[in-house]
């Protein structure tokens, strides 16, 4: 398979056991997928204290064995200086600074102080919130430490709104970052943007079309039984099929083509979210139908529907043709909803 010199990072979200890491690495190796780094989170900063947070220090020996057995470079997440030192002492090839750490200048500086002039590769993920200045600042701190191989990783941003993807891509931010650091490779963590394997191919291809330098993906030999982020982890076979399906060579040659691509990709993402939200809407309609049936409530609720139409029209473009489209669309949506409830 031709990756066109793209960087490919793969491995499970979290290090769970020696056999889990070994089996995943062995299957990737047997499928002859040319990964650049094998990744695993041995210290996972979790939102809830009861969530699995990685196997910890003992996983370093498991990863060192994988490095010996398959000649893979190893990459792990760090959040503190002592974790960095353990990685350096054990010849771990690369570390990544996670989104929750990037937002904290004190932690980033602590990491930068520990890696100063060390022969280790460092990946800096974007902060959780869409703050370009914070992302740039974190990279600058690592650059100032004399690290020669730095890469930026786009994993999307947490936005407190109803959305289909786990994280909002907001592609314009990593593209601007690339203009600040044209010499630094830019990777896409399609797993964390997607939140489910269903959207990983689309997100990955968009990133490659935008000229990203590679992908960071979560791969687990048995995702159904993963202890964290099960829905967004590919099996090694799914990983192979994904890599074989992607076009790693951008055909963009002019600024006009790039502008068109940006807008087309935005439409593609919006269409994906519209289709998913319509499905979710109909599932809620089904639940409403059950409540109405159980309580002998009439299907048709004119005032409720009137408020829906008012909301849509208030957000519509001030264009008579578009207003007509909205009214016709809502009529079809209403009729489809009523038919489902009648069932």
- Between 334 and 7, whose confidence is greater? 7
Q: For residue 234, what is the DSSP state?
A: B
Output phi, psi for 320, to 5 deg. -55, -40
- Tokens at residue 48, please? 């809830």
14 in any annotated domain: yes
69 has a pLDDT exceeding 90: yes
Q: For residue 249, what is the DSSP state?
A: S
Helix axes 132-144, 172-180, angle to 10 degrees: 30
H-type helices in the chain, by residue range? 18-30, 59-70, 81-89, 99-102, 105-115, 132-144, 172-180, 190-194, 200-209, 236-245, 255-294, 302-315, 320-342
13 pLDDT tier (thresholds 50, 70, 90): very high
Over residues 83-104, the mean pLDDT reads: 96
2 in any annotated domain: no
Over residues 82-97, the mean pLDDT reads: 96
CA 159 to chain centre: 13
Which of 79, 77, 72 lies closest to 108 in space, CA to CA?
79
pLDDT at 162: 55
Residue 199 and residue 265 in one domain: no
Cα separation, 201 vs 190, whole angstroms: 8
Bridge partners, residue 216, by sequence: 9
17 has a pLDDT exceeding 60: yes
Residue 27 and residue 119 in one domain: yes
The CATH number that applies at residue 274 is 1.20.59.10
268 in any annotated domain: yes
Cα separation, 23 vs 17, whole angstroms: 10
pLDDT at 252: 62
Mean pLDDT value across the chain:
91
Helix (H), strand (E) at residue 150: strand 150-154
161 has a pLDDT exceeding 70: no
CA distances 126 to 39, 102, 157, Å, are: 17, 7, 8
Domain count, the chain: 2
Cα separation, 65 vs 54, whole angstroms: 18
Over residues 11-24, the mean pLDDT reads: 97
144 in any annotated domain: yes
Residue 62 and residue 145 in one domain: yes
pLDDT at 119: 94
Over residues 99-115, the mean pLDDT reads: 96
Residue 28 and residue 151 in one domain: yes
**Domain boundary pick from 245, 279, 297:** 245
- Tokens at residue 77, please? 């997440």
The residues, ordered by sequence, that sit 6+ positions from 30 with a Cβ below 8 Å of its Cβ are none
Tens digit of each residue's pLDDT (9 = 90 or more) over 257-279: 777 877 887 788 788 888 888 98
Secondary structure class of 307 (helix, strand, coil): helix
1 in any annotated domain: no
Residue 40 and residue 160 in one domain: yes
The residues, ordered by sequence, that sit 6+ positions from 130 with a Cβ below 8 Å of its Cβ are 157, 159, 168, 170, 173
Secondary structure class of 40 (helix, strand, coil): coil
Residue reference for tokens 């109803």: 162
Q: What is the pTM of this model?
A: 0.83
User: Which among 43-52, 177-186, 331-340 has the top mean pLDDT?
Assistant: 177-186
**Domain boundary pick from 193, 218, 245:** 245
pLDDT at 14: 95
Residue 98 and residue 128 in one domain: yes
pLDDT at 327: 87
Residue 173 and residue 90 in one domain: yes
Q: Are 151 and 186 in contact (CB under 8 A)?
A: yes
Residue 269 and residue 205 in one domain: no
333 in any annotated domain: yes
Residue 25 and residue 167 in one domain: yes
Residue 225 and residue 281 in one domain: no
Over residues 178-189, the mean pLDDT reads: 96
**Domain boundary pick from 245, 263, 278:** 245
Over residues 82-100, the mean pLDDT reads: 96
20 has a pLDDT exceeding 90: yes
246 pLDDT tier (thresholds 50, 70, 90): very high
48 in any annotated domain: yes
The CATH number that applies at residue 225 is 3.20.20.70
Residue 290 and residue 158 in one domain: no
302 in any annotated domain: yes
Residue 223 and residue 325 in one domain: no
Q: What is the residue range of 165's domain?
A: 7-245
169 pLDDT tier (thresholds 50, 70, 90): very high
Bridge partners, residue 125, by sequence: 153
Helix (H), strand (E) at residue 252: none
Tens digit of each residue's pLDDT (9 = 90 or more) over 108-152: 999 999 999 999 999 999 999 999 999 999 999 999 999 989 999
């Amino acid at each position: 398979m031709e990756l066109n010199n793209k960087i490919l990072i793969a491995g499970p979200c979290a290090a769970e056991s020696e056999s889990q890491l070994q089996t995943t690495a062995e299957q990737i190796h047997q499928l002859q997928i040319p990964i650049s780094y094998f990744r695993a989170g041995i210290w996972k900063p979790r939102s809830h204290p009861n969530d699995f947070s990685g196997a910890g220090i003992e996983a370093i020996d498991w990863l060192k064995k994988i490095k010996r057995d398959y000649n893979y470079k190893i990459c792990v997440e760090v959040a503190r200086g002592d974790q960095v030192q353990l990685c350096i002492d054990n010849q771990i090839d690369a570390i990544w600074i996670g989104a929750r750490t990037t937002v904290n200048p004190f932690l980033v500086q602590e990491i930068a102080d520990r890696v100063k002039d060390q022969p280790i590769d460092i990946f800096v993920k974007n902060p959780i919130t869409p703050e370009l200045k914070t992302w740039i600042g974190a990279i600058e701190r690592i650059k100032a430490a004399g690290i020669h191989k730095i890469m930026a990783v786009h994993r999307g941003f947490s936005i407190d709104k109803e959305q289909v993807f786990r994280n909002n891509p907001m592609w314009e931010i990593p593209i601007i970052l690339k203009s600040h650091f044209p010499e630094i490779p830019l990777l896409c963590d399609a797993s964390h943007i997607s939140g489910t394997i269903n959207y990983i191919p689309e997100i990955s291809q968009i990133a490659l079309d935008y000229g990203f330098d590679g992908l960071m993906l979560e791969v687990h030999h048995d995702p159904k039984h993963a202890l964290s982020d099960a829905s967004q982890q590919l099996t090694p076979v799914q990983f192979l099929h994904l890599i074989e399906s992607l076009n790693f060579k951008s055909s963009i040659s002019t600024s006009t083509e790039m502008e068109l691509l940006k807008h087309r990709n935005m439409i593609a993402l919006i269409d994906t979210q519209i289709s998913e939200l319509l499905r979710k809407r109909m599932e809620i309609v089904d639940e409403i139908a059950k409540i109405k049936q159980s309580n002998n409530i009439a299907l048709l609720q004119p005032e409720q529907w009137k408020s829906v139409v008012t909301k849509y029209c208030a957000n519509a473009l001030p264009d008579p043709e578009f207003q007509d489209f909205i009214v016709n669309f809502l009529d079809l949506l209403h009729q489809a909803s009523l038919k489902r409830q009648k069932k």
